[in-house]
Each structure stands twice: as structure tokens, then as C-alpha cells.
Amino acid sequence: MATVVKDAAEAVRSRLNAVLAGVGEAPSTLISSSPEWKALEAHAVAVQKLHLKDLLSDDARTTALTREAEGLYLDLARQNATPETLQLLLALAEKAGVKTKIDAMFAGQHINTTEDRAVLHVALRAKRNQVITDAGKNVVPEVWEVLDKIKAFSERVRSGEWKGVTGKPIDTVVSIGIGGSALGPLFVHTALATAPEAAAQAGGRKLVFLANVDPVDAVRSLGDLNPETTLAIVVSKTFTTAETMAWLTAALGQEAVAKHMVAVSTNLPAVGAFGIDAANTFGFWDWVGGRYSVSSAVGVLPLSLQYGFGVVRSFLDGMQTMDEHYRTAPPSSNLPLLQGLFNVWNATFLGHPTTAILPYQQSLAHFAPHVQQLSMESNGKGVSLDGTTLNFGAGEIDFGEPGTNGQHSFYQLIHQGRVIPAEFIAIATSQQDVYLEGEKVSSHEELMCNFFAQPDALALGKDAATLAGEGALANKVRASLAAARSNGNALRADEGFNSSTAALLGRFLKQYQPKGPSDGAPALPSALQSA
């Protein structure tokens, strides 16, 4: 679900930065001259004198900065902010007309003013009976026509009914495309690869993304593949298309194009001239920005071929659920909107332009690059909608790495005093759990100990005496988790955690129940067990 929130959150940031850049009666009037903006500027000066150690001691503040929706728990307590900050940010969002812009997007208004287009990636995961219009036309039936076509085609390929020119079934897919044609689908592919249901559906199949002008990428991607059992998806007619076509036709002849290449395109004449049957072309629309195209045929086709349409449909349903939350939830409890507002707070008002995205889950390894495109391709512009030069910074610089990897690299700089706002992300239940006999905690609990310890270490700091007493940062959490497991999954009241950490630990203890060797369950994931 993380990508769902980010998809909506980055849309908020994009629209928020746009409307922040030009509100008021005169086109050149910037929101930075508004009373709401001035109030936040003054508030920022006061807040910067506060320390998170003191802020986190206020239990009522923690409660006021915590939200939950659709299985997602958002804790903003370690933001350098107070409940007043939130109210001032919400007032700025109201001044900027963010909720009006959200409604305008769902209504199909052409909020992409540069290209005079609607922005309707939400239609890509709409339910079949929904109505979402562009220029008065309901686009949802067109979306479902493509989805139905993908479902039928992917089932033909996966069942072996569709065969290559030599009569062999297809077991490998190469998706050819750059930017949004690769970053989003690659992220979701990596996230699904170790999910038990998806992994079972993908058994014996391979999905490869070819997305770089450097011929080294083609060599690495295609070098060990068998052309006879490979299907190429041409998402856009890029540099790599010719190389892949040459690779296929050199091995199988020109007739291989019809059986080994399909297209995701809106340009049917060009596809036909290329030699790909129009029946094997899957459409998308100009009201979908490339960075949001993972839920279009660009992502759905390769992912369905790898994992089956049912798995991908579940992903789309999750996105649709968050779309509805984003559309209907009031601003004060709207998760994507709150994330967008606090990025504006950190980057624009507090002067911290960089955000670290830190997922404590290896399956989210490609999440940060996807977010970089979602956010940084949209935001960071230096002018308003009408071309007026901004007198404030807009957008943030995103970077990141899975948690424990980052702990042994760039975390050190942050720990030693460089202020970099960080978004810590964790999943309550592991996709693939490991519990070794004799260990106090499971491997997922070990990972989560780091997730719980690092935010507090960054927020609160530790003096030399405390560090010497506790040892490594995660030791205290590990001991507390182990004790709680033997005490009915309940933390003792005197553990000494702040209310934010205590609430997170409590939720984790309830939601994640490890099964160790003593439970009769295997100690290792099935993928690591010998036959």
C-alpha cells in the first residue's frame, strides 16, 4: 500500500506547489504574500527553537499527530511540529484551494494547464461501474476494455496457448520503455516477487525491464534469455526497441515480430508499420502522466504476464481504495494530503530541502527511485502557473535506500547533526519470515527492532553514557520485544519508551505473531528449504 499513498501524496505535492505558486485575484499574486503563509513563517521561527526530546514527552501531542486509515498508520510525532503547525498547514491548504483542486481532478477538469489535459490516473483503477469523465465522456469503459483485453491475453500466454514461432510457450517477458514506463512497474515487480501468492503465480516465469540507452543494459538484460520463449513489450519506440527487434529476428527470422512482440501505444499506424498486429496493442491515454502510468497497461500488462491478472487486480483495488480515501477524507485526516503538507513544511518553511525515504522491507528496494520520479519530475519548479518567478523554494529532493543498508552508510551523517527529514516505512508482517532456533526474536522482529530504534535515535539523540549503557541502538527494543512475547505480547509500563514508540510497538506486537520452530512451523521460508 505504500506506493498507493505515495502516488496520491505526490499528486498532492504537485498540485499544492502549483496552487501555492499562484492564488489571489491577480495572476501574478503569489501565496507567499497571504496571511496564512506569513503565519507559518512566524511559526517556523518559534518551532525551530524546540527539541524533539521535549515534544515527544507530550502524549497529547503524539495523539494529535497520529492518523490511521485503510490499514495504514501514519505517525507524524517526530516531525519538528506541534498541533498548531498542523492547523496552520491546513489553513494554508484551504487558502490554496487544495480540496477544490482534488475535486477538479476527479471531475476530469484540465488541471494540467501546460498541456490543457485532464489528470485522470485515478480512472485507471476505477471500479467498472464508476463514472469519471474527460470532456463529458466517461473514460472508465475504455479503461476496462483494455483491462479485459490484458486479462484475456495474459491468460493465453500464461496457459501456454500462445506460443512463439518455434512452437514453444512463452516464459520470459522483456518490457521495453524508459522513465515512467520502467520505474513504477519495476518497483511493483520487486515488491511482488517475494509475496507468497504472487511468487506462487510467477513460478518458472521471468520479467525483465530494459530501460537505458546504454547498450550495456541490453547486453545485461537479454544476454542469458532464450529468444524462442521470450515476449517483448514495446512501451515506447525508443533506442532499445531496435536492439531487441534485431536480437529476436536474428535468432528467429522476421516472422518472430508477430509472435514475440506486442505494444503499449496509442499510435496504431506506427505500431502496424513496425510489424505488430493491432490486436496485440494495448492502449493508454494522454490524460495519464508517465510517472503515474504503473496502473495503466504500461504496468498492468507486464505484471499480469508475470503474476496473473488476479494479483494485479488486487493491487489496483488497493490503489482505488486509497483514491477514495484521498477524494473523500477531510483534510485533517487525509493521509496523502497530510504527507504533502508536511513535506511543504519541511522543505519550504524549515529550509530542509532533502527527504530520506527509508523502507524497512527489502521488497521496497525500488520504492525511492519511483518516488523520486513521482515527486521531482513534478515539483521543484521555479515559476508559478503563469510564469511568475517564485520567491520561495518548492519541492523537495528525495533519496533513499532500504533501512538497514542505509544505517551502514548515509545514516551516519544524519546521526552526527545534518538535519534531513526522513520517512520511515515498515510492514507489520513479513512476506518471508525466518525464525532460527535459539534466537530471542525472529528475523523480521530483528529488522523491526532497527525500525523502532532508529527514528528515536535520530529524534532524541543519545549522550555517551546512555550509549555505553545500552550498546547498539536496537538492543533495548530487542530485549523489550523478547520480554513482551513471553508476557502475553504486552509491553511493561516502565519500559521507558515515549508514547509514540510505545504505541507503534504495541500495534506490532498485536499484528505480527511469529511462528518459530517450536510451533511446528518451518524455521526458514519455503524458498530456502532444501528439498
Residue 3 has pLDDT above 90, yes or no: no
Quick one: cell of 296? Answer: 495503466
**CA end-to-end span of the chain:** 34
User: What is d(CA 517, CA 522) in angstroms, rounded to the nearest whole number?
Assistant: 6
CB distance 435 to 442 below 8 Å: yes
**DSSP H/E element including 399:** strand 397-400
Residue 2 has pLDDT above 60, yes or no: no
User: What is d(CA 408, CA 491) in angstroms, rounded to the nearest whole number?
Assistant: 29
Torsion sign across C-alpha atoms 474, 480, 484, 489: negative
Q: Which CATH class is domain 36-117+330-426?
A: alpha beta
**DSSP H/E element including 353:** none
CATH, domain 125-307, list 3.40.50.10490, 3.40.50.300, 3.90.1300.10, 3.40.1160.10: 3.40.50.10490
User: What is d(CA 501, CA 496) in angstroms, rounded to the nearest whole number?
Assistant: 10
pLDDT-derived band at 19, boundaries 50, 70, 90: very low
CB distance 508 to 441 below 8 Å: no
Residue 430 has pLDDT above 70, yes or no: yes
Name the least confident of 51-55, 264-268, 333-337, 411-415: 264-268
Name the least confident of 183-192, 353-362, 435-444: 435-444
Residue 9 has pLDDT above 70, yes or no: no
- Maximum mean pLDDT: which of 18-27, 165-174, 425-434, 475-484: 165-174
> Residue ranges per domain, the chain?
36-117+330-426, 125-307
337's CB contacts (< 8 A; 6+ apart) are 9, 12, 93, 98, 102, 326, 329, 331
Taking Cα atoms as reference points, which of 31, 29, 52, 50 lies closest to residue 40? Answer: 31
Residue 491: the pLDDT is 87
Asked, colleague to colleague, whether 36-117+330-426 and 125-307 share their fold, the answer is: yes
pLDDT-derived band at 53, boundaries 50, 70, 90: very high
Residue 351: the pLDDT is 95
Neighbouring C-beta atoms of residue 277, cutoff 10 Å: 14
**DSSP H/E element including 75:** strand 72-75
164's CB contacts (< 8 A; 6+ apart) are 170, 228, 229, 230, 231, 252, 256, 259, 260
Q: Which residue has the cell 515487480?
A: 189
Residue 276: the pLDDT is 85
125-147: pLDDT as tens digits? 999 999 999 999 999 999 999 99
Q: Of residues 137 and 113, which shows the higher confidence score?
A: 137
Residue 345: the pLDDT is 97
Residue 114: the pLDDT is 84
Name the least confident of 160-169, 240-249, 364-373, 430-439: 240-249
User: What is d(CA 37, CA 183) in angstroms, rounded to the nearest whole number?
Assistant: 35
Residue 75: the pLDDT is 98
User: What is d(CA 402, CA 407) in angstroms, rounded to the nearest whole number?
Assistant: 9
261's CB contacts (< 8 A; 6+ apart) are 231, 232, 233, 234, 244, 245, 248, 275, 276, 280
Q: What average pLDDT does the segment 70-85 reach?
A: 97
> What percent of the chain lies above the pLDDT cut of 70?
89
CB distance 321 to 70 below 8 Å: yes
Produce one character per residue of 297-332: b if its CB has 16 or more CB atoms within 10 Å, e if not.
bbbbbbbbbbbbbebbeebbebbbbbbbbbeebebe
CB distance 91 to 39 below 8 Å: yes
Residue 472: the pLDDT is 63
Distance of CA 355 to the CA centre of its chain: 14
Residue 468: the pLDDT is 64
DSSP 134-188: ETTEE-HHHHHHHHHHHHHHHHHHHHT-SB-TTSPBP-EEEEE--GGGTHHHHHH
Name the least confident of 185-194, 235-244, 503-512: 235-244
pLDDT-derived band at 22, boundaries 50, 70, 90: very low
CB distance 109 to 118 below 8 Å: yes
Residue 387: the pLDDT is 83
Fill in the amino acid letter for 257.
V
pTM of the model: 0.91
Residue 531: the pLDDT is 46
